[in-house]
Structure 1
Amino acid sequence: MTPERLGTGIGWRPEIADAVERMPGIDWVEVVAENTCPGHLPESLRRLRERGVTVVPHGVSLGLGGADRPDEDRLGALAERAEALGSPLVSEHIAFVRAGGPLTASPLLEAGHLLPVPRTRDALDVLCENIRIAQAALPVPLAVENIAALICWPGEEMTEGQFLYDLVDRTGVRLLIDVANLHTNHVNRGEDPAKALAELPVEAIAYVHVAGGFERDGVWHDSHAHPVPPAVLDVLTDLASRVTPPGVLLERDENFPAPGELERELAAIRGAVAAGGADPGRRFDPPARPTGAEVTDATRQRVGLAQTAVLSSLVAGTPVPEGFDRVRMGVQARALASKRADVVAKVAPELPEILGDAYRPTFLAYAQERPMTGGYRRDALDFAGRLLRDGRAGDRTSRRRLERWWRDRAGATPRRSAALRALQRRG
């Protein structure tokens, strides 16, 4: 089976929607699945589709590498988006995004970000079964993406290339290879991108991600907010020397440059692929009937307990599990809290407007005390409710604005603490 030929694309974001429509040579776009409503597609996406531009939904919340089986509602939503967009495939990540819950008899925790799964036989067994469940529920082929990581799991049994090879061999899933993530893992984990590419089944590649980042204190941050560096383009050329990728896509999520700069980056990406010069004739023939033994609850529980210990350390301040680098775990914990503050500010822009310069330090202090358990919109409501209950919403005007915002969305009035009620009576 030859993967769908996509060509050159860019990640569609509302901030650059007009620019993307005018860009020459855009064959396809990728949209964040969770940010797309099938019944209310943006007019820009409608116009692109009418012009014949392919749209691929890219999921971020399934958590296929998590210990639990994929959530049926999330799978159904991803399937709906694929059908509404007329997509030839959908994509997700090889990652876990939540942990805990009934499987581990512990509180459910949300990472708000993609975290790496351990490259162990147990984790691979769980991932394979979860992917087979997802494949059966989706109307189009699934591609899964390698992720960037700041932390390493102790006791890993496989390299990334071996892990991905076995995954494809057992499930027939296609691969979304992010060359920026391979570069990130080279800097952060000492992993050779060329070795990973040599080990994985490049014929299974559905498409490729290219993105920018920055290095600080020896750590590479996969920001999607900076220009694509030459080192990432070099990895792309290496990949393209092994197989002609069916599609290549530029990712940019914030700090958007002028359209001309994006077009220059796309030109550099085309040039890096052309420099590889692979023979386009190689084919991917997945197993006709992906096989594998059913994963036992005991295996899922072992994976779940390990992931819960890691996530709890990162977001709830519990001790760092044995074998993990404490410094890197601290970097990852701060990165998760920072992203959480950024995303809450995007989904609820009124909060930084109301709180002003106090928003970020106040939210980060809140995040240290309260792990996320219900997604970013719930997080924004809980944060505002906590400020109102504790009397930390600023002056009277700010408090009134915040309480009005909270009430409009929560449908109730936050209960004030006894101490605050006493102060208000005395005032």
Structure 2
Amino acid sequence: MTELGIGIGWRPEIAEAVEALPGLDWVEVVAENICAGHLPDSLTRLRARGVTVVPHGVSLGLGGADRPDPARLAALGEKAVALGAPLVSEHIAFVRAGGPLTATPLIEAGHLLPVPRTRDALDVLCENVRIAQDALPVPLALENIAALISWPGEEMTEGQFLAELVERTGVRLLVDVANLHTNRVNRGEDPARALSELPVEAIAYVHVAGGVERDGVWHDTHAHPVPPAVLDVLADLASRVSPPGVLLERDDDFPPAEELAGELRVIRHTVTTAAVGPRCPGAVRTGTPHRHGARASIPAPRRAVTAPEQSLLIGAGARVSGGPMPGAVPASVETPAPVEAPTEAPVRALAPVEGSAPRGDARQRLGLAQASLLSALVAGTPVPEGFDSRRLGVQSRALAAKRAGVVAKVAPELPEILGKGFRPAFLAYARSRPMSGGYRRDALDFAEHLLVAGRPEDAEARRRLTEWWQDRSGSRPPGRATRLVRAARHALVRR
């Protein structure tokens, strides 16, 4: 496995501070926030210094019922090649639901949502992971996510679910110890048990981040210092295996550079003092003591698929950093130079395992369940049977608040025009209008909604909002017939 060392999440707001950090080994960048053909100068300078850059995707939705979008996979692969990355990472989550598979409207979560730990979901996830592995030019690592809600009728613990995923696909793991702590507070899950069940030798790297507890709920904000409880989980992990890389995530309310450097020192100290003896490279434990020489499969690099990148879904679970967004990737690119293969022999499942493909209508069953949950969260439909309605309410409000925050970042003119009225107006709008085309489209739809309703009441603000909308949409606000059609569409989504 590639030894990464100690790193930090690169964000435009702290690019200068990141470049000045002493002893920085590597950085991670949100893949959807960069363009393969126009890398930020800061990342180019870091690469020239020998700092490894890893793209971290947030929009694939590998835990969703649909097969991965080839264009999104192609875009992620192109960014990996452009950055010379030794691997890419994504999440075990779903970020959208509905569409042709379920004959329901396609809606976006704008956030990472948990996959049910069931056989159906695992079968679908494994097939999606294999599709991604075949399309990507470098190995893939998948991250465990934090969640406020639990699915009813789960059949496995998180550790068991991840262990079988690794056994069946050979995928690497990105273990987020802050998410393990979050799930301890919010769902009563024991991080130590999860680590004991994980194939820890399959870990590609580790995330560390801060958060805050309010009213008994832990919010994984990435905007607070790393608390001792998260460092304790990191120490537990480091006592079991020497992680190839550890990365500090900070996505908002950025502290001074000295504070970031201090957090990195604490992380390095935590890992060093808890470190185990020399690792057996490539060994993988799947719930039983590992055998020296046993390997999980890691796919060899392949050529990137060339395809246009579709519209970006920014921060499906990522805390978007703001700043101008890049344009679309060109429709085709030259075949990139091969990425150097890992020094370890790639290992993949040598033969299909029983139940390796989704059984029967597993995709449709999963799709219907995910669409029902997401509709309840973002469109106000009834809570599906078996879910905690109070927790769903907390999650729903968190999704709406995050959606408002991201729209304010990708379209900063809206809060400027609307002032203090932006947030309450957007939250009221979002209550029954799920996102279906990414945050940029969401901002336009919100502005259109206000203008159709004759708002804002202030004539000058309404004029400015109209000009803003026209500059970006290229047309006038819709007439009465179009408004009726859209109202009918929203009514269908709410059913």
TM-score range, shorter chain: over 0.9
Contact 2:120–2:359 (8 Å) recurs in 1: no
Report the CA distance between 1:279 and its aligned residue: 1.8
Which secondary structure state, in structure 2, belongs to the residue aligned with residue 73 of structure 1? Answer: helix
Residue 309 in structure 1 maps to residue 307 in structure 2: no
2:363 to 271, 284, 300: 300
Letter in 1 for 2:428: A
Partner of 2:8: 10
Residue 384 in structure 1 maps to residue 384 in structure 2: no
1-structure distance, mates of 2:14, 2:126: 36
2-structure distance, mates of 1:344, 1:87: 30
Deviates more, 1:228-237 or 1:296-305: 296-305
Within-5 A mapping of 1:220-235: 220-235=218-233
Partner of 2:408: 345
Deviations 1:180-200 (A, max 9, x none): 000000000000000000000
Partner of 2:389: 326
Partner of 1:124: 122
Q: With structure 1 as the length reference, what TM-score do the two structures score?
A: 0.96
Contact 1:355–1:394 (8 Å) recurs in 2: no
2:37 to 28, 36, 39: 39
Residue 87 in structure 1 maps to residue 85 in structure 2: yes
Partner of 2:463: 400
1:414 to 466, 469, 477: 477
Partner of 1:375: 438
Report the CA distance between 1:393 and its aligned residue: 2.4
2:278 to 260, 277, 280: 280
Partner of 1:65: 63
Contact 2:148–2:391 (8 Å) recurs in 1: yes
Report the CA distance between 1:281 and its aligned residue: 1.9
Partner of 1:149: 147
Unaligned runs of 5+ in 1: 421-427
Contact 1:131–1:171 (8 Å) recurs in 2: yes
Letter in 2 for 1:286: A
Contact 1:213–1:226 (8 Å) recurs in 2: yes
2-structure distance, mates of 1:190, 1:240: 22
After superposing on structure 2, the runs of 4+ consecutive aligned residues of structure 1 that deviate more than 3 Å are none
Which secondary structure state, in structure 2, belongs to the residue aligned with residue 30 of structure 1? Answer: strand
Report the CA distance between 1:280 and its aligned residue: 3.0
Distance verdict in 2 for CA 1:110–1:297, change over 3 Å:
farther
Distance verdict in 2 for CA 1:15–1:190, change over 3 Å:
same
Contact 1:390–1:416 (8 Å) recurs in 2: no
Deviations 1:172-225 (A, max 9, x none): 000000000000000000000000000000000000000000000100000000
2-structure distance, mates of 1:59, 1:30: 10
Report the CA distance between 1:416 and its aligned residue: 5.3
Report the CA distance between 1:25 and its aligned residue: 1.0
Report the CA distance between 1:297 and its aligned residue: 6.0
Letter in 2 for 1:213: G
Partner of 1:216: 214
2-structure distance, mates of 1:81, 1:360: 34
Which secondary structure state, in structure 2, belongs to the residue aligned with residue 56 of structure 1? Answer: strand
2-structure distance, mates of 1:33, 1:360: 28
Letter in 1 for 2:296: P
1-structure distance, mates of 2:81, 2:123: 29
Partner of 1:357: 420
Letter in 1 for 2:378: V
Contact 2:177–2:234 (8 Å) recurs in 1: yes
Partner of 1:176: 174
2-structure distance, mates of 1:289, 1:59: 22
CA RMSD of aligned residues (A): 1.2
Contact 2:123–2:359 (8 Å) recurs in 1: no
Which secondary structure state, in structure 2, belongs to the residue aligned with residue 304 of structure 1? Answer: helix
Contact 1:243–1:282 (8 Å) recurs in 2: no
User: How many equivalent pairs are there?
Assistant: 417
Q: With structure 2 as the length reference, what TM-score do the two structures score?
A: 0.83
Report the CA distance between 1:400 and its aligned residue: 1.2
Unaligned runs of 5+ in 2: 283-294, 298-346, 484-495
1-structure distance, mates of 2:155, 2:455: 49
Which secondary structure state, in structure 2, belongs to the residue aligned with residue 112 of structure 1? Answer: strand
Distance verdict in 2 for CA 1:278–1:394, change over 3 Å:
farther
Report the CA distance between 1:38 and its aligned residue: 1.1
Contact 1:210–1:249 (8 Å) recurs in 2: yes
Which one has more relative contact order, counting CA pairs under 8 Å at least 6 apart? 2
1-structure distance, mates of 2:457, 2:46: 45
Partner of 1:54: 52
Report the CA distance between 1:390 and its aligned residue: 1.0
Partner of 2:290: none
2-structure distance, mates of 1:153, 1:296: 20
Partner of 2:285: none
Identity score, percent: 74
Which secondary structure state, in structure 1, belongs to the residue aligned with residue 361 of structure 2? Answer: helix
Residue 265 in structure 1 maps to residue 263 in structure 2: yes
Report the CA distance between 1:417 and its aligned residue: 5.2
Distance verdict in 2 for CA 1:289–1:261, change over 3 Å:
closer
Which secondary structure state, in structure 1, belongs to the residue aligned with residue 416 of structure 2? Answer: helix
Report the CA distance between 1:55 and its aligned residue: 0.3
1-structure distance, mates of 2:179, 2:56: 16
Contact 1:390–1:417 (8 Å) recurs in 2: no
1-structure distance, mates of 2:432, 2:190: 38
Residue 244 in structure 1 maps to residue 242 in structure 2: yes
